[in-house]
C-alpha cells in the first residue's frame, strides 16, 4: 500500500473549521439565552414598578377580627404608570400559617385601585386571629399573568 499519496487536512483548513464551529456554537447559544434573559429583565422591571406603587393603608379600613372570614385590607396604588391584573392578599396567623387569595381567582374580593386611588379588598380567610397581612401585585406580561413579590406587609388590628 502506498502511503505517500495520502494527504491530511491542512493546518489552514483545520483552523477555519474550528473558527466556523465556534461561531456556530456561539450563535446557537446566543439565540437561546438572549430571549430568556430579556424576558426575565422585562418581568423584573415591570414587577419592580408595580411593587413600588402598591401599599397597604395603615388606617381606617385595614383590620380583622377574632372570628374567621372578616379580614379587610385597604390598598393604595401610586401615581406611577402601572396597570394591575389583580392583587394577591396573604393572611398570616400568629403561628406562621398563611392563606393566600387573589382577586383574579375570586378568593379575595373588591375592586382594583386605579392610578392614585385606594380600594378595600376582602379576604375570606379561615384563620382565626390573623396577625399580619401582605399584598403582592399581579401584572400581565404578554399572555400570562405574573404574581410579583410582596409589596407591603402590615400587622392587623381588630375592627
pLDDT, tens digit (0-9, with 9 covering 90-100), for 30-47: 998 888 777 778 888 889
CB contact at 8 A, 149 and 62: no
Record the cell numbers describing residue 58, joined without a space.
395603615
Each residue's pLDDT tens digit, 42-69:
888 889 999 999 999 988 788 886 566 6
Count up the domains in the chain and report the number.
Answer: 1
- Percent of the residues in the chain that have a pLDDT greater than 90, as a whole number: 35
User: What residues form DSSP beta bridges with 47?
Assistant: none
Mean pLDDT for 110-129 is 82
Record the cell numbers describing residue 9, joined without a space.
487536512
What is the model's pTM? 0.73
The DSSP result for 3-45, as a single string, is: -TT-----HHHHHHHHHHHHHHHHHHHHHHHHHHHHHHHHHHH
Enclosing domain of residue 139:
1-159
CB contact at 8 A, 42 and 48: no
Amino acid at each position: 500500500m502506498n502511503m505517500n499519496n495520502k494527504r491530511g487536512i491542512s493546518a489552514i483548513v483545520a483552523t477555519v473549521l474550528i473558527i466556523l464551529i465556534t461561531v456556530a456554537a456561539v450563535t446557537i447559544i446566543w439565540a437561546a439565552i438572549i430571549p430568556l434573559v430579556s424576558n426575565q429583565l422585562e418581568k423584573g422591571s415591570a414587577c419592580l414598578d408595580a411593587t413600588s406603587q402598591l401599599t397597604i393603608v395603615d388606617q381606617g379600613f385595614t383590620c380583622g377580627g377574632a372570628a374567621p372570614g372578616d379580614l379587610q385590607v385597604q390598598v393604595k396604588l401610586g401615581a406611577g404608570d402601572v396597570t394591575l391584573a389583580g392583587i394577591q392578599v396573604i393572611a398570616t396567623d400568629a403561628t406562621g400559617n398563611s392563606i393566600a387569595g387573589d382577586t383574579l381567582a375570586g378568593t379575595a374580593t373588591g375592586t382594583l385601585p386605579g392610578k392614585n386611588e385606594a380600594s378595600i379588598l376582602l379576604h375570606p380567610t379561615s384563620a382565626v386571629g390573623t396577625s399580619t397581612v401582605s399584598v403582592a401585585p399581579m401584572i400581565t406580561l404578554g399572555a400570562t399573568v405574573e404574581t410579583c413579590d410582596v409589596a407591603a406587609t402590615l400587622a392587623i388590628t381588630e375592627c
